[in-house]
A = this chain, B = another copy of it.
């Protein structure tokens, strides 16, 4: 754990902003947190997609297929963000993610899946964090 506490807080805030964009269905805003050639593997059963356009398109499709016509909100909680500085200067981040789905007028959310999110973070020219890749595994899937 040679990670500075400055970087740690910065990454937590980056995730807060990023995942609120996703849950607000600002898919373009979410895609813009990736590098231009960013990789996003949304689910272990789907192929990875690339580029910001590819990322926002896959999310639009996913929501269309899964939630069209339903009054729901999703909340992707993150926990226990663990960082490792890599030799190329990028930062590997391994975090818990718990997905909540809330249906209109139902107080108790649907809980799950519980996931692990594996990200690689880099910096752009001005020094802001961007995501080079995100791969997600689901805890209920065993090999």
- Using a CB–CB cutoff of 8 Å, the interface residues on chain A facing chain B are 1, 3, 5-10, 12-17, 19-20, 71, 73, 75, 77-83, 94-96, 98, 100, 102-114, 128, 138-142
Q: Smallest CB–CB gap between A2 and chain B, Å? A: 10
Contact B10 A5 (CB under 8 A): yes
- Docked complex Cα distance between A120 and B26 (Å): 23
A140 to chain B, nearest CB (A): 5
Are B140 and A82 within 8 A (Cβ)?
A: no
Contact B13 A102 (CB under 8 A): no
Does B12 contact A104, Cβ atoms closer than 8 Å? no
A82 and B13: CB pair below 8 A?
yes
B6 touches A80 (CB 8 A): no
